[in-house]
Structure 1
Amino acid sequence: MEDHSIPILPILFFLVLILLPLDCTALDTISANQEIKDGGKTLVSKEKMFQLGFFSRGKSKNRYLGMWYKKISYGTVVWVANRETPITDRSGMLKLSRHGDLVILGSHNRTVWSSNSSVFNNPVVVVQLLDTGNLVVWNKNSVIWQSFDYPGDTILPGMKFGKDLVTGLERFMTSWKSTDDPSIGEYTYILDTNGCPQIFRWQGKVLASRLGPWNGLGFSGFPVENRNTIYITEYVENEKEIYVRYDLISSVVQRVVLTWDGKTLFLQWVERLKDWIVYAETLGDSCDQFSLCGPYGMCSINNHPPCSCMQGFEPRSPEEWEASDWASGCIRKKPLDCGSGDWFLKISGVKVPDTRRTWYNVSMTLRECETTYRRKCSCTGYTSLDIRNGGSGCLLWLDELMDTREYGGDQDIYIRMAASELKGHGDSQSDSKELKRILIVVVLTSSVISLVLVVALACRKVKNRSHKKKQERRYMLDEKNKSMQMEPFDDIPYFSLSEVAEATANFSASNKIGEGGFGPVYKGVLEDGREIAVKRLSESSQQGLDEFKNEVICIAKLQHRNLVKLLGYCIHQNELILIYEYMPNKSLDFFLFDETRSLMLDWPQRFNIIQGMARGILYLHQDSRLQIIHRDLKAANILLDADMNPKISDFGLARKFVGNDTNAKTKKVVGTYGYISPEYAVHGRFSIKSDVFSFGVLVLEIISGKKNREFSHGDHRDNLLGHAWRLYKEGRSIELMSGSLQASYVASEVLRSIHVALLCVQHLAEDRPTMLSVVLMLVSEGALPQPKQPAFFTGESHSEAQCVSMVDEYTLTQLYAR
C-alpha cells in the first residue's frame, strides 16, 4: 500500500530555517553606518523588555520611530523620536553615522529627525537599547547621547526629571495630542527652578497645578500616605544639576505617564490581569487647581466651600466669595508694622505656598530663620526646607502666599502677622510667661557662654604667644619656581595648617562656599566655636605672595564696623591661607542682581548699605592709620553680615598713601571693568577719587538692581551711568529705581542718593567729591552741587568717550556663605 502521509521532519526543518533569521534579527545594538528600516528588523533589549522600531497608531498612516514594551503589554509606547515630524509612508530608516549622530531619514534620504550628537575624537560608536528603556549612543565607555535625556509623555524608573545647570538641558514631560497622536499635546510637566525648585503642570501657557517643593520626604503637594514601598524617590540639588528620580525596589513594572487630558498617573503592570492599573495619581481634586483660593487663601477638600482665609485675613472681595469665585483671595485684617514687633503664626499640616518668589538656605535652623528675618518686612512666611528629624534649613517667602492647601502631613508654615493680631491668639498670658522664661534662659545662657569664651580666649592668647616664640622667624615659599622669603607678621594671630584643616574638615568639598581669583573659600568652625571663612591660595591663582602680604598687612591693622575682620593667617610650605570672620549672608551681588533674592533688600536696607559703604571707605581714606586706596570696590567685595550690614573685603590690590600723597601711577591696571575710573583704566593713574568713582557705580547699581557692565536699554546704547545721567537731565531720576522698591522707598532719599552717585562718577577726578563730603551729603538735607557729565557717556560727545576695551577683568576672591 502506497504511503501518502506528509513527512514531518523535513517540514519542521524547513520552518526552523525560515524562523531562525527572524530571531537573529533581534539585536540590541547597531554600529556606525548600519540601519533599521521601516518594516525590517528592530532593536530589542537584551532581556527582551523593550523594542525599538517604526509604528503607527489607530487609523493614522503616520509612521514614527518609537520604543514600546515587548515582554509585557506589547505595543505600549514609552518614547517617540520624531513626534513632530512623522513620515507619511514606509520609507523611514534609522541610521547611526560614524561620528555618533543618530538620524531618521524619510523618502529621498530627507532628514526627518536627528540626535545632533556628533563627536569627532573617536569614530567607534554604537547605539544600544537597554533593558531600562534607554536608547544610548556609546563612544567606547562614555555616553554621547541617550533617550533618557529627552522624555516624552513617560518617565521610566532611573530617568532624571529636572535641569542640568551646566549645559542648560531640561528633562520634562509633554503629553500626547491624543491617544493615537504622539505629537506634543497641551500639557507639560516640569521641574521649575525659580526660587525653591518645585514641580508644575502647565496647560498651554496657563499654570494648571503645582506639586510643590521637595521637603526631604517627598514633594509638599504629594502627601506621605500616598507614598509606598514599591519605589524610592531621590532628589538631588547641587551646583551642577537639580533633578528628581525614582527607582523600583521590587520586581514590579511601573511607569509614570502624563496623559493627553492632563492626568499624571503612576501605572503598574499586573500580570494576572494583563493590564495596567493606576497605582497613584499626583493630582485628583479641586484643591489641586493652582491658586483656587487666591493670595492668603487656604483650600481644604474636606470643607464646603473648599476655600477659606488664613487666620488674620479676610476676603478681598466678599461679593465674589459669596458667588464661589475665590480667585481674588484674602487681605490682612490688620496691616503689618515691623517696628511694633510682628510675629509669625504657625499653621500645621499644609502644602506650602508657591515657592517661585522665595529664598532658601540649607544650613540654617528654623530658629535662626525666624531670628534673622523677623525684622525683614519683605518676609511673609517661612518653614523648614527639610521636615525630617525635626526639621532643618530655611525656606523664606518674599511675596504673597499663593496656592496653599490643608494636608494631614508633617509640613508646617509660619506666617507673618501683626503683633496686635496675635494678642488674641491662644492664651496670651501663658504665652507672655513662656516668653519671659525663654528670655531669662537666653540671658543666663548668653552670660555663661560669654564668660566661658573670655576665659577660653585668654588661655588661647597665652598659648598662641608661646607657640609663636617656637615658630621659625622665616618661612620659605616656593612660588612659580622662584625662591622667596617672608617674615612672620607681628601681632597677627597665626594658625597652624592642622588647626585650619580641622576647622574645615580637611578642606572638605561640602565646606566649600565659593571661589574667586585668590582661590577656593571654605566655611570652618574653630575649637572655640567661632565660625570662620578660609581663603586658600590655589596654584592656578593669578594672585601670589605680594597680594597675600598686602591683604594681611592692610586689613589686620584696620578696625571698622564696615570692614571685614581678618582673624589670622597660615603659611605652611606652599600653602597661603587667610582666615576671616564668617559672613552668613554672602555678598551684595548675591542678592542685588537676582530677581528673587533682591526682594529681601527693601529701600531702608539698601540705604543702610549705601551709608555703611560710605563710612567704610571714608575710614580707609581718612581715619585709618594706614590711609588706604582699595582699588577694587565692587558688589562682590561688599559682604553682608547676619543683619545685612555691609563690610568691605578683599584688600589684595589695596595701596597705602601718606598725607597729601593721594595720587599714584601704575603700568599694571587691575580691578574689575565696570567699576574702574577712566583715568585709571586709560592712563594707570589711581587715587582716592578712583574709589569714589567705584562707590558711585555701586550706589547706582544698588538703586536700580542692574549691573553697570551688563546694562542695556531699548532707546540708547549707554551703560548704567549714561542712563542715570539721561534721566537726571530730564527730571526723571526716580525711574532709575528698581520696581521692587515701590512699597518701601523714600523718594527724597532715593533722589538724593542718585544725585550723590552722579557726583561721584563725573568724568574728571578733580570734580568728584571726597568721601567725607559724600557721607555728609547723604545724611544732610541741604542743596547739592550740579553734577557734570559722567565718565564713559557716549550719548552726546564721542570725543569725550574713553576707550577701556583693553582693560581685562581681574576677578578677586569672593567670600561666599552658604
Structure 2
Amino acid sequence: MKHGSNLITGIDRHLASWKSDDDPASGEFSDWIDTRGYPQLIVMDGGDIKFRGGPWNGIRFTGTANLKTNPYYNFTFVLNHREIYYQYNLINTSVLMRVVLQPNGSLDRLLWMDDKQEWSLYLTTQIDRCDQYAVCGPFGSCNIDSSPICVCLKGFEPTSPDQWRKTEWSQGCRHIQTLDCNPGEGFNKYSNLKLPDTRGSWYNQTMTLVECKKMCKSNCSCTAYTTTNISGTGSGCLLWFGNLTDIKRFAENGDTLYIRLSASELGTPGNEPGHDPENRSGDEDLELPVFGLSTIHKATNNFSINNKLGEGGFGPVYKAPLLRVPPR
C-alpha cells in the first residue's frame, strides 16, 4: 500500500485508529503524510498534532531514528509531481508484518509470532517524552538524556524564565539579540537533530547546500536551512521561515540543521544557564572560526587605515596581525 497522496487523482491514503481494541469504529487518531510544506509524517489527535515523525531525509523520516535497514522489510519514500508516498515491502516472505495505529495513538509495527500465535511489537515510533509534539516550544531542543529535558538552542533564551524554571516549556525560547538582516548574521550548525516542523517550509530537490545557504541568507525571513537528502554527498535545499518547533536531539544518526543567528549570538558560549550544554563546541562546527567584534577591533587596531588591505563587493578588508586562530 502507498501511504500518502496521489496529486493527479486527489486520493489520499492514511491510517486511522479504532475507537478501542474491540470497537472498529473510527477513533480519535490518524496518521498522515502532511504536504503543507516539505512532506512529513504526522500523527493527529483530532485536530492537534500528537507525534511528528518529520520529513524524509533520503534514508528515513528524520524523527524516527529507529527506522533502519533490517532483514525483514525494506522501505522507500517517493516525492515527485505525481505522487508523495511512503511504502514498505517484505523481503523475508516467511514473516507476517503489519503497521497499526493503535486506539491510544501509538504507531506500531507488529510481527506475527507463529509459536505464540500472537502479534509482537517490533518497532514503535513514539519512544519517550521528547516524542511529544513541541514539548519544548519554539527554538527549544528536547534531549531525553538531559535533566531537565528542555534547553534553549544556542543564541536563544527562555521566553518566560519563570515558567521555564517551573518546567513549563510550552512558550519556548526567543533570540537573545533580535535579527535585523545585518550582513554580519550567519548560521550555527547543529548535528544529530530531528528537524523542525516543516509546515510552511520551502524546498528544492536539486539545489546544493551552498546555494541553499545563499538563498536563506538573502531572505531576511529565513531562519534555518539544511539539505533534503543526506544520502551520499547530500543534495537539495529545505528552508524554514519563522519559529522552529519540535526539535529533538539524538545521540547519533540525526540530521544537521543550520540556524540563523546575529553576529553577537554566534560568539555566545553555549553553556550559560538555560542554554544547550551539549553545544559548547558549536563554534567548532562552523565552516570558519567566529570572533567577537571586540576581538576584531583589538586585532585590527580599531580598523586602522594602516591595516586596510583593500575593498571588495562586501566592503573593506583588513589584516589582523594580532588575531590568533584557536587550534581545532
In structure 1, distance between residues paired with 2:69 and 2:42:
19
The alignment partner of 1:373 has SS state of helix
In structure 1, distance between residues paired with 2:98 and 2:46:
24
Alignment of 1:38-77 (within 5 A): none
Residue equivalent to 1:172: 14
Q: Identify the match of residue 112 of structure 2 among 254, 269, 278.
A: 269
Higher relative contact order (CA 8 A, sep 6+): 2
1:431 aligns with 2:274: no
Equivalent residue letter for 2:58: G
Equivalent residue letter for 1:351: K
Contact 2:209 2:235 in 1 (8 A): yes
Alignment of 1:379-778 (within 5 A): 379-407=222-250, 408-424=252-268, 426=283, 431=289
In structure 2, distance between residues paired with 1:390 and 1:306:
32
Task: Tell me the CA shift for residue 350 of structure 1.
Answer: 0.3
Equivalent residue letter for 1:207: I
The alignment partner of 1:308 has SS state of strand
Higher helix share: 1
Equivalent residue letter for 1:196: Y
In structure 2, distance between residues paired with 1:261 and 1:207:
14
Q: Identify the match of residue 128 of structure 2 among 285, 307, 310.
A: 285
In structure 1, distance between residues paired with 2:68 and 2:45:
24
The alignment partner of 2:264 has SS state of helix
Residue equivalent to 1:312: 155
Contact 2:216 2:223 in 1 (8 A): no
**For residues 304-363 of structure 1, what are the alpha-carbon distances to aligned partners after superposition, in whole Å with 9 as ceiling and x for unaligned?**
111110001010001111111100000011111212321010000000000011100111
In structure 2, distance between residues paired with 1:372 and 1:311:
22
Determine which structure has more spread, i.e. the larger CA radius of gyration.
1
Contact 1:387 1:410 in 2 (8 A): no
Distance 1:391 1:262, change over 3 A: same
Equivalent residue letter for 2:51: S
Contact 1:217 1:224 in 2 (8 A): no
Distance 1:374 1:397, change over 3 A: same
Contact 2:194 2:254 in 1 (8 A): no
Task: Tell me the CA shift for residue 372 of structure 1.
Answer: 2.4
The alignment partner of 1:340 has SS state of coil
Which runs of structure 1 show a deviation greater than 4 angstroms over 4 or more consecutive aligned residues?
Answer: 224-227
In structure 2, distance between residues paired with 1:379 and 1:397:
6
Task: Tell me the CA shift for residue 259 of structure 1.
Answer: 0.8
In structure 2, distance between residues paired with 1:165 and 1:231:
27
Give the gaps of 5 or more residues in structure 1: 1-158, 434-442, 444-818
Distance 1:267 1:224, change over 3 A: closer
Residue equivalent to 2:99: 256
The alignment partner of 1:279 has SS state of strand
**For residues 365-410 of structure 1, what are the alpha-carbon distances to aligned partners after superposition, in whole Å with 9 as ceiling and x for unaligned?**
1111112221211110001100111211001001210000001214
In structure 2, distance between residues paired with 1:423 and 1:324:
27
- Give the structure-2-normalised TM-score: 0.80
Task: Tell me the CA shift for residue 227 of structure 1.
Answer: 4.9
**For residues 230-254 of structure 1, what are the alpha-carbon distances to aligned partners after superposition, in whole Å with 9 as ceiling and x for unaligned?**
2111111111111111001112110
Distance 1:261 1:424, change over 3 A: closer
Equivalent residue letter for 1:355: T
Task: Tell me the CA shift for residue 176 of structure 1.
Answer: 0.5
Equivalent residue letter for 1:384: T
Q: Identify the match of residue 200 of structure 2 among 350, 353, 357.
A: 357
Task: Tell me the CA shift for residue 257 of structure 1.
Answer: 0.5
- Give the structure-1-normalised TM-score: 0.33
Contact 1:381 1:414 in 2 (8 A): yes
Residue equivalent to 2:86: 244
The number of residues matched between the two structures is 275
Contact 2:226 2:258 in 1 (8 A): yes
Equivalent residue letter for 1:187: F
Residue equivalent to 2:45: 203
Task: Tell me the CA shift for residue 175 of structure 1.
Answer: 0.4
In structure 1, distance between residues paired with 2:104 and 2:165:
31
In structure 2, distance between residues paired with 1:172 and 1:414:
32
In structure 2, distance between residues paired with 1:189 and 1:225:
17
Q: Identify the match of residue 34 of structure 2 among 177, 192, 198.
A: 192
Residue equivalent to 1:50: none
Q: Identify the match of residue 168 of structure 2 among 294, 305, 325.
A: 325
Equivalent residue letter for 1:305: P
1:340 aligns with 2:183: yes
1:234 aligns with 2:76: yes
Contact 1:382 1:394 in 2 (8 A): yes
Contact 2:17 2:102 in 1 (8 A): yes
Equivalent residue letter for 1:250: N
Equivalent residue letter for 2:259: I
Contact 1:226 1:280 in 2 (8 A): no
Higher strand share: 2
1:370 aligns with 2:228: no
In structure 1, distance between residues paired with 2:67 and 2:218:
37
Contact 1:357 1:399 in 2 (8 A): no
The alignment partner of 2:182 has SS state of helix
In structure 2, distance between residues paired with 1:424 and 1:263:
40
The alignment partner of 1:386 has SS state of coil
Name the stretch that deviates more: 309-318 or 371-380: 371-380
Give the gaps of 5 or more residues in structure 2: 270-282, 292-311, 313-328
Equivalent residue letter for 1:287: C
In structure 2, distance between residues paired with 1:400 and 1:281:
28
Contact 2:62 2:254 in 1 (8 A): no
Contact 2:107 2:124 in 1 (8 A): yes
The alignment partner of 2:239 has SS state of strand
